[in-house]
Structure 1
Amino acid sequence: MSKLKLRHLITTGAQEAEMIRALLEDNGIAVIEKHHEVGAYASIYMGFSAFNVELYTSIEDYKKAQELVSELEFVDNQMLNEETESYEQGKEASYYMKTAAKIIIVLFLLISLFIFFYF
């Protein structure tokens, strides 16, 4: 089973994300949405959300999707490029933070076991 590798495309408001998703899906590009905070629940319960939405697409479709999104009038091209770069940097930092948290948890458990058996 191969893993689907995604790449962050853009973070935008809910209404703009809906338009971008429709554009990309009309061009044969699959899109995955990630809502901030309780945005997904708010859109189901109230019909709209005031929270931002992150859009992801596969690595293979990323360039084509970026070209299509950059042609839209309401999307700032500089924001699209900066956001992609900052996401990649944040992804690296979050990986190291997760790894450090795992190490701390394992050390805590080992120390707890040591104290439990020897005291």
Structure 2
Amino acid sequence: MDATSGWQGTGLTVKAGRRIGIDFQGGGWTVDRRRFPEVGPRGYDSAADQRIWQGCKLDPKLDYGVLLGRVGGGSWFVVGSHDAVTAPDSGPLELRIHDQDHCLVDNAGSLLLKLTY
């Protein structure tokens, strides 16, 4: 998953209620390549998050950089570093970094994930 792109298809089409295995294989991403180091799917810890300008969050309660998912273009959910999630809906699975689309220009990096279904 690329930090400079919004919602990205995974190639998986899932059914509601089914388990999706998500294994973080490596890599890292950042919401500001000039000021903040790369992190994994958990995103930034609260201390680092508080130092980042807060105007680009999709959800002000979540830390920047966390891995998000959605199914079929529906409501998004936190994936983070969980090893599995349950599909809330049926449809194509998409993933992204927690950062608004218009703020992706200063991002960098990518996460390598192994998905099982």
TM class, shorter-chain normalised? under 0.3
**Structure richer in helix, relative to its length:** 1
Q: If you compute each CA radius of gyration, which structure gives the higher value, 1 or 2?
A: 1
**Structure richer in strand, relative to its length:** 2
What TM-score do the two structures reach when normalised by structure 2? 0.28
